[in-house]
Chain A
Amino acid sequence: MNVLRRALAGFVVLLVTAGSAGPARAGKPVFELEIRNHLFWPSELVIPAHTKVKLLVHNTDPTPEEFESYELNREKVIMGGRKGVIFIGPLAPGEYPFFGEFHPKTAQGRVIVE
């Protein structure tokens, strides 16, 4: 039990250290996406290949939306009127569709990686 407790503590320390390594994460390119009227603006986003980028998604609708993409392997709920941070990449060149899971017929877009 003692070993387990120490392992757990070590794990928590690891997580906290990883989380506070802020400066190491600074400098990632930021791209902005807006959700308005259950649509993505812009619906096409061009990002550099092989680079991890930060997506700042601003949901200006009053209701929540979930940014989701099977190709990008990302999903995140963003409440109405709030901004969400999602890191994507690094990605090989190509097109990666994403959609709003709560309104999939209208909220669609793709990330074009060049």
Chain B
Amino acid sequence: MLLTSVIIVLREVLEAALLISILSALSVVHGIRRGWIGLALACGFVAALGLGYGIDTVSNWFDGVGQEVSSAFMQFAIYIALALMLYLLGAPDGHGQRTTRMLAGLMTMIVALAITREGFEVLVYVLGFAGNLKYLLVVLLGSAIGAGIGISIGALIYYLLRSLPRGPAHGASLVLLVLVAAGLVSQASLLLIQADWLPARLPVWDSSALIAEDSVTGQLLYALVGYEATPTAIQAGFYFGGALLMLLVGTGAAFRRGRNSVDKGET
């Protein structure tokens, strides 16, 4: 029971923690004050409570697949926010006040949504043991341990990114961001397949011989970039399409920034 709760909470916390680390590192690189993190955490927890409380109602939407559809919707919202962020990071006005505020706002929204998604699952799990004090204590302990491990891994990634010089830190964060975004949108497509809103065929490949989904590496990669050992064509399509779109947005923004610098007579 202890180990189970550690693993369950670790998985959920890890997904949110990684996103928070990458965005925090980007904040530092771009001089965005990190007060937004506290606000995002608070909003996320409140929303997670709300979703956990209303899970019965939500589950019954759309003929019983309300959970999947709302989760997928949140993933798509995060993706769009990440794309907007990527665009703004390459914007020509080089982070004037307005851009900085918009970036902070987008980051707040992204983290709040991520925490809502992961938080409500942890909440539902823990509250399921509310009636059984003996189990509840074990589960709370396991959850604390799992959360601690997840946060530690997130902190590790953050400090790894921060240890790089500004240019590579920016570049590495953006690469991770593109992969995270692709993973999110591919996960969303999987949810819609589960809900039968999208069709499915047989998986197009099976890489479980290379990296098994239930191995430690597999779980880590799943949390970070949405690794799937047996994706269907639609999932793979969303992944590569999602990554491609982000790359296009990033390239477009960098191009505009470069051109603007030249116009201004800078090098």
Contact = CB atoms under 8 A, between A and B. Distances in A.
A73 interface: yes
B76 A11 contact: yes
A80 B197 CA distance: 25
A62 B135 CA distance: 14
Given A82-B59, A91-B202, A104-B4, 15 more contacts: A8-B80, A15-B69, A19-B197, A50-B202, A52-B200, A62-B131, A64-B124, A64-B125, A70-B213, A76-B68, A77-B55, A82-B56, A87-B193, A102-B4, A105-B4
B122 to A, nearest CB: 11
Interface residues of B, number: 40
B125 A85 contact: no
Contacts of A104: 4
A89 B201 CA distance: 7
Interface residues of A, number: 40
Contacts of A82: 56, 59
Interface of B: 4, 8, 55-56, 59, 62-65, 67-69, 73, 76, 80, 84, 121, 124-125, 128-129, 131, 190, 192-202, 213-214, 228-231
B65 A85 contact: yes
A6 interface: no
A64 B200 contact: no
Interface of A: 4, 8, 11, 15, 18-19, 22, 25, 28, 50, 52, 54, 62-64, 66, 70-71, 73-74, 76-77, 79-80, 82-92, 101-105
Most chain A CB neighbours (cut-off 10 Å) among B200, B201, B213, B231? B200
A50 B202 CA distance: 8
